[in-house]
Structure 1
Amino acid sequence: MLTQSATLATNERIQALRANGVPVTHLAFGEAGLPVAPEIAAALAAAAGRNSYGPTAGIPELRAAAAGYFDRRGLPTAPGQIVAGPGSKPLLHALLSVLPGDVVLPRPSWVSYAAQASLLGKEVVWVPVPEGSGGVPDPALLGPALVAARARGLRPGILVLTLPDNPTGALAGASTVRAVCEIAAEHGLMVISDEIYRDLAHEPGSVLSPAEIIPERTVVTTGLSKATALGGWRLGVCRLPEAELTARLIGVASEIWSNPTTPVQVAAAYVLAEPEPVRAFVAAGLGLHRAVVRAAYETVLAAGAGCPAPGGGFYLYPDLEAARGNASSRADRDAAGSGAGLGGAADLAELLLERYRIGVLPGSAFGDDPRGLRFRLATSLLYGDTDEQRWTALRSTDPARLPWIAEALARLGTAVAELTGKGHGDLR
């Protein structure tokens, strides 16, 4: 039985704890944590009266704006190649439904990819990511994994990549992306390139889209929820390589969501046209995400964890293997009873929440080995509990030093250090 998404379930659990007066440092949910830019809010408000059904693929001004958005990123696009939906997640599910074959995923990868494959009766072929990276399968392992899958009777047909990555926060290098795309083409795979974090790459221009390498085999998806922090507005778009696939996707969309919400589409057209206020807001958000996640990265490294370097967005994927044998730490001893140590990712995430009041997601939620002591943390909900705090963080030249952010990072460092044996001090 398919259970509730791990990200949503954990977020609801943490919110319930907070509502009951339990202070929790919330690092478990990938909400971008920014206020709404006033110019974007005004665009939505101005369209509030547009209450008629619209075209299934999206209103013309949105499709044209999305085409221009991709054009400016080196992907020549016609408006007819664009399909919009109520968030990129429904679009991804619809794409998996119309593309033939089983699904090839990097391990680890975002929680919903495998879940959606399961909903559609498709098998998943897992391929580990390169050391210290994420979002793409290891090119040295991809070809053999495809051959082995076919030998087991599977039909790998779709490869999903995430650039930059969720959950690791890493960004695959251009040479790795090229190698993976060459193997995908050789084996006849269609590629879905989830680029919703593209505009939050820490080094501008560092994302190489598979659509630049194998355009005829690549669908690119993005949305409003990350760079402009509009997750609750639910608007995603995808860029399709050819007319037949576009028609099939529109057919599915017409029977599920009819059309995306029209006022949100109007606001999305404004966002994707990238006027100066939007560019400035995205740039400020990028600076904030980059500063705080890099401060968190330095914190967990200093506390004894391993961790891929962040390359985009606001995620980290620490590895606390050093905690496995650290039965001398008070937390480990108390949690395990006998001092036998932590059993795996779920134990670690539960310990962090119950003892340290730090919410994270276990690596096992992303298809990782459940015995590994890895977890995903998101720094984006540290920016503040009020719009005033969030605007302060957004405008700060050194946001990691703001008291409410610095305190949360210190709590994280203390917990990790105690678990790895780098420190045994009590939390304050």
Structure 2
Amino acid sequence: MARRVPESHGPVRYGPPLPGDGLPVLPELSAVLAAAAGRAESEPVGGGAALLDAACGHFDRRGLPAEPDRVVAAPGAPALLLALTAALGGDVLVPRPCAAWWAPYARLLGRPVFHVATPAECGGVPDPYALLETVRRVRAEGGDPRLLVLSVADDPTATVAPPEVLHETVEAAAGEGLHLVSDETWRDTRHDPHESVLLSPAEMLPERVTVVTDLAGALLPPGWPAAVARFPPGDVGGGLHARVLDILTALGARVAAPVAAAAGYALTEPGPVRARQAAAVRLHARVAAALHTEVVAAGALARPPQAGRHLYVDLGPLRTALGAHGIGDAQDLEEFLTARLGMPAPGGHRFGDDLAAPRVRLSTGDLLGGTDEERAECLGSPSPWELPHVRRALIHVRSVFDDLADDAQRRQPPRRGDSRT
């Protein structure tokens, strides 16, 4: 791996794995999986009837009517995005930053990927004017942009795009004839659903938006790969659905039968699943808020988290101290913080951000303890940040960031009249 080149092979290019929520598996899910473990038959490519019916109900309840002949299941969202990218052809546009797994699948197919400037407060929805400028520049240079991947509730930044920005971006994409893939993995993990309105691009541009949801984001454990996609109605959606099924067939990309049974159960959202999801969202929201308080108090920058289980941190204000530790870029910062914190701290370059920008993503699941008992205790606590093991983890994060802030302060040149002069 060429260590400082983000496009090189290896973990810098392909990014960190999808983080788990750190919680024990829901017993009802385990029971469904175990009951299906003896099935010898293979799940059909694209998903069996029961799984597709459950997926249609899931989309219907979110205001996105779906029919089984416009829905596909696959062993994880990466397989779906790979198939969609291959089926649609052309160059790919993504926000900066974006989910770590989006760009690699286009590169695997030899497709150029172009990152579009994205405001810090807008989640995974690029600035509409930057999108237009990028599309026109790429075409002027002989490129063929056809696909825009975005997310309203964002993975790396944990922010939710305002509806007005989403409207403008979707209109800009429609005007340029782009097909949109809306990654809605995290839409049901908003920390305060009453604080912000979440709309799907599929509600605004029904004929040109495919919705993808990785169930490992909110409904299944990360080790049980399953995802569903909803294709647009009409001829465009029908043709794309058929091409994606062909590609998944060529790849042998089937959901494992026991996982398909668990996914179908989870997608129907019975009481135990709804209760666990609500409890998990509350837990990660509270821990994310506490983590945000600690890193900002130490002098770093971070947008208040609004969804998911992450915090995107900018250590630009501590750049002086970082330089004193030999930290020159995001890869250096990742290695430094991962060692000091004792937990993964993937650099922003893994999400398509500028390698020179000192940014990292931290995950709340890493703060919930090392045993199922500790994590279960977090799940049932009204104040998880006050539990001893969570408090210790937060204090440790604060101490690492405080040490950097102190180093930065000590290395500032003395001011005139300062007692140090």
**TM-score (ref. length: structure 2):** 0.90
Give 3-state SS (helix, strand or coil) of 2:210's partner: strand
2:316 pairs with one of 314, 318, 321: 321
3-state DSSP of counterpart to 1:191: strand
| 2:192 aligns with one of 192, 203, 212 | 203
Q: What is the alpha-carbon distance in structure 2 between the residues aligned to residue 411 and residue 424 of structure 1?
A: 20
Cα distance in 1 for residues equivalent to 2:202 and 2:219 = 23
- Where does residue 283 of structure 1 map in the other structure? 278
Partner of 2:222: 231
Q: Decide which of 419, 424, 428 is 2:404's aligned counterpart.
A: 419
- Counterpart of 1:317 in 2: which secondary structure? strand
Aligned to 1:363: 348
In terms of mean alpha carbon deviation, does 220-229 or 69-78 score higher? 220-229
Q: Is the 8 A contact 2:128 2:168 kept in 1?
A: yes
Counterpart in the other structure of 1:51: 40
1:4 to 7, 10, 15: 10
Deviations 1:164-219 (A, max 9, x none): 11111111111111111001100000111111111111122732110111011111
Looking at structure 2, the residues matched to 7 and 169 of structure 1 have their Cα atoms a distance apart, in angstroms, of 21
Would you say 1:222 and 2:213 are equivalent positions?
yes
RMSD: 2.1
Structure 1: state its 5+ residue gaps. 12-28, 337-341
Q: Deviations over 1:92-149 (max 9, x none)?
A: 1111111121100101111221111111111112111113332111123111111111
Query: Is residue 2:52 matched to residue 1:74?
Result: no
Please report the TM-score for the alignment, with normalisation by the length of structure 1. 0.88
Q: Partner residue of 2:238?
A: 243
Measured after TM superposition, the shift of residue 381 of structure 1 is: 2.4
**Matches of 1:154 and 1:132, distance apart in 2:** 29
Deviations 1:249-300 (A, max 9, x none): 1111111125311121111111000111111011011111111111111111
Question: 2: CA distance between counterparts of 1:63 and 1:420?
Answer: 52
Equivalent position to 1:373, from 328, 336, 358: 358
CA contact (8 A) 2:182 2:200 kept: yes
Cα deviations by residue, 1:38-90 (Å, 9 ceiling, x for unpaired):
11111111112222123212110110010000100011111221100111111
Question: Structure 2: where are the runs of 5+ without partners?
Answer: 2-7, 411-421
8 A contact 2:64–2:203 mirrored in 1: yes
The Cα shift of 1:332 comes to 5.3
| Residue in structure 2 matching 1:176, options 165, 171, 176 | 165
CA contact (8 A) 1:418 1:424 kept: no
Partner of 1:102: 91
Q: Which moved more, 1:198-207 or 1:274-283?
A: 198-207
**Contact preservation (8 Å) 1:345, 1:362:** yes
Cα 1:270–1:355 shift into 2, 3 Å: closer
The letter for the 1-side match of 2:358 is L
- Say yes or no: does 1:350 pair with 2:335: yes
1:13-412 to 2 correspondences below 5 Å: 30-204=19-193, 206-241=197-232, 242-326=237-321, 333=324, 335-336=325-326, 342-412=327-397
Secondary structure, aligned partner of 1:231: coil
